[in-house]
């Protein structure tokens, strides 16, 4: 059975804005490049990913 999207879901997707349920602030997506262990853990490769940043984690992500 398919889940029906609520109107609020559709509206938030249209605006491309995510509100953090914890701090109630808009989440900003930022490309963060960080080393990631390769299988075996003996070497690393640089990997970029989009990270959502809000008041909850901005210090740990941007430090």
Summarize as ranges the residues that interact with Zn ion (CB under 5 A): 20, 22-23, 54, 56
Q: Residue 5 or 30: which CB sits closer to Zn ion?
A: 30
Asked if 51 and 61 touch (Cβ cutoff 8 Å), the reply is yes
Residues 6+ apart with CB under 8 A from 22: 54, 56
CB of 45 to Zn ion, least distance (A): 29
CB of 61 to Zn ion, least distance (A): 11
CA distance 57 to 14: 25
Q: Residue 16 or 59: which CB sits closer to Zn ion?
A: 59
């Amino acid at each position: 059975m398919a889940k029906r999207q609520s109107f609020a879901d559709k509206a938030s997707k249209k605006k491309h804005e995510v509100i953090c349920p914890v701090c109630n602030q808009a989440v900003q997506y930022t490309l963060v490049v960080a080393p990631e262990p390769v299988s075996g853990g003996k070497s690393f490769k640089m990997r970029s990913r989009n990270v959502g940043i809000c008041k909850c984690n901005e210090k740990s992500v941007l430090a």
